Structure formats: C-alpha cells, structure tokens
Amino acid sequence: MKRIGVLTSGGDCSGMNATIRAVVRTAMNTGVEVVGFQKGYRGLIDRHYEIMQNRSVSNVLQRGGTFLQSARCREMLEEAGQAIAADTLKGLGVEGLVVIGGDGSLRGARALANRGVRVIGIPASIDNDISHTEMSLGVDTALNNIIYAVDCLKDTASSHDRAFVVECMGRNSGYLTLAATVASGAEHAIIPETPFDLEAICASLRRRYQEGRFNSIIMVAEGAGSAQEIAARIKDRIGFETRVMVLGHYQRGGSPSAFDRLLAARFGTAAVEALLAGESGKMVGLSSGAMVLTELDLVLASGIRPIDRMMVQLADKLT
C-alpha cells in the first residue's frame, strides 16, 4: 500500500485534527502517502483534496474542529454518488481510506467497502452514541465544556436565587446530559432513555427551596424536550426564578482535552495499522482500554449505544 486517504465527515468535534495528525504521521513514517479530502465525502464527489505533508499537520493537535472541514453529502446516500466516490479514490491511486465521523459517516464507509474500497472507520460523535466503543472521539472535551458552563451558571444562580434549565446536545442519547449531571452536581437529568415526571421534579425543587437551598440546575438532553418549554412549565411551581441556557454548538468546540488527544492518537494509529494489515469494512473502537476492530455491519446493526444504567442509578442517588 503506497497511498491512503483520510476525511472527516458529519458533525465536527474536538480531537478530529489530532486524529488526522496521527493518521498522517503514522502513514508517512511507514512510507505511505496520505491524501486529505476536504469537506468530507463532498471532497470525493468534487475531487477536492490535498497531498498531506508533515507540515500539513503541524500545530493542529491543540485545535478543535477539523482543518479538512466537514459537510453533509446527500450524494453518498445514492449508489451513483457512491460510485463516483469509489472512482475518485481509484483514479487517484488511493488504496485505503480512513473515515472519521458518526453514524452517517460510517454508513458511507460501509458503502465504499461494499464497492471494494479498503476502509477503516473512526467513531467521532460527542453524543457517545456509537456502538462497540466505550468512548467516541470528542465526547470528553464536550463534557468538560458543559461542566465548565454549569459551574459558571451555579455562581450566578446562587447569587440570585434562580433555577437554570440547561439544554445539552443529544438527540437520541442522554450520555452527555447524564454524565454532566453527575460531574457538575446538578439536581436533575432529563434524558431520552428514561421517562421523567415533571411534577416530581417540581416537588423536589420546592423541598430544596424550603430547606434553604435557593438555586438549582436541571439538565435536559435536546432529544428529551426543549429547555424553553420545560422552564415555562416549572417557573411558577418551584419557588424561585427560572432561566434557560441552551449550550448548542458551544459544546462541539474548543481545544481537545488530554483524554481526547490521547484517544485521537490511538484511533488514528490503529486505523492506519489496520489498513496496512489488510483489514477493511471495520471500525476502530475502545474496549477495556484496548483498541479493537468491529465489522461496520455489526456496528451499524447494533443501533444507538445504550445508556449505562449504573450511571442513571448514580445520578438518582446523588440528586
């Protein structure tokens, strides 16, 4: 194998640049050239790419986002688009491809693998919703961003006797919300995986008020409800003022945490080594501290990574 490609697809997250760096450095140190495709699969369709050099990945380790950029590519949902992408790789002499992204990106990787392209996927999703890996790229940084924001909100909440309803990303997974609730000491977590009783939450907050605790934080995953709507429903029922904070895309950005930098280095290196060993149609994942390969068919068939019920119980005990 003389030349491989790398792309980032779907939603961006911190650690993508560090992963690209690991792919490029690992490949070049074994005499393999790397082609970086710009704006995800769009780069394959439109033939937008650059030949990577060591200097291409200098001073990117600490940067959030992805310097190769990312974009949605509807063409990859159709066989015609998939054929164009495969032909681009063949025409450029690219013998293997590393795809960094979430569920949709991995589906594109599988489609290319089914067309004979050697592909290894790397899970990158701040929701931590990809199966067969204990942690996806970008999760830890996003979690730290949320905790920092909640810590700041607690300062102002305690100064004004207020409750804040904080909305986190997580359309189908409440991992970020649940983990942030435990790690920040928030009072309640509302997540898609678990039914919630708003009256019981209000009763709990009223008890806090009666006990002389005049501020609270309620964490909400976007897939479980709107922070604005929940705040409107509780504002006159809990004893103190209610405010809303929708964290939105703030969660995606920022310099990657040490954990994400290390995970990126391991993911990128393992992906290149897998390609060089002749592997294809698989995803690199983290399992019990080790790098493991899982068939993309199995990853995608397994659906959304289930929430850790022990974490749910822990949040219940500590709120």
CATH number at residue 65: 3.40.50.450
For 104-120, how does the pLDDT look when each residue is reduced to its tens digit (9 = 90+)? 999 999 999 999 999 99
Q: What local confidence, expressed as pLDDT, does residue 6 receive?
A: 98
Q: What local confidence, expressed as pLDDT, does residue 84 receive?
A: 97
Q: What local confidence, expressed as pLDDT, does residue 158 receive?
A: 80
pLDDT confidence tier of residue 208, bands split at 50, 70 and 90? confident
Find the domain containing 28 and state its range: 3-138+256-301
Q: One of 127, 129, 140, 260 is an active-site residue; which one?
A: 127
Task: Find the mean pLDDT for residues 57-62.
Answer: 96
Q: What local confidence, expressed as pLDDT, does residue 190 receive?
A: 96
For 174-196, how does the pLDDT look when each residue is reduced to its tens digit (9 = 90+)? 999 999 999 999 999 999 999 99
For 137-168, how does the pLDDT look when each residue is reduced to its tens digit (9 = 90+)? 999 999 999 999 999 998 888 888 888 999 99
For residues 156 and 95, give the distance between their C-alpha atoms in angstroms, rounded to a whole number: 55
Whether residue 11 sits in one domain with residue 133? yes
Q: What local confidence, expressed as pLDDT, does residue 316 receive?
A: 86
> Which among 235, 270, 290, 187 is positioned nearest to 19, based on CA atoms?
270
Whether residue 74 sits in one domain with residue 122? yes
Binding site for ATP, by residue number, is 11, 72-73, 102-105
Binding site for Mg(2+), by residue number, is 103
Question: For the whole model, what pTM was predicted?
Answer: 0.94
Residue 197 bears catalytic tag = no
Whether residue 91 sits in one domain with residue 10? yes
Structurally, the chain folds into a number of domains equal to 2
Whether residue 191 sits in one domain with residue 169? yes
Q: What local confidence, expressed as pLDDT, does residue 60 receive?
A: 97
> Which among 17, 311, 264 is positioned nearest to 135, based on CA atoms?
264
Name the CA radius of gyration of the chain, rounded.
22
Binding site for ADP, by residue number, is 21-25, 154, 185-187
Residue 313 domain flag:
no
Token reading at 76: 């990859």
For residues 284 and 19, give the distance between their C-alpha atoms in angstroms, rounded to a whole number: 12
Whether residue 290 sits in one domain with residue 221? no
Residue showing tokens 């690209």: 20
Q: Which long-range contacts (CB under 8 A, 24 or more apart) does 230-233 make?
A: 230/165, 230/190, 230/198, 231/165, 233/198
Whether residue 227 sits in one domain with residue 213? yes
Residue showing tokens 């930098």: 261
- Longest Cα–Cα distance of the chain, Å, equals 71
Q: How many CA atoms lie within 13 A of 113 on its CB side?
A: 21
For 284-306, how does the pLDDT look when each residue is reduced to its tens digit (9 = 90+)? 999 999 999 999 999 999 999 99
CATH number of residue 242's parent domain: 3.40.50.460
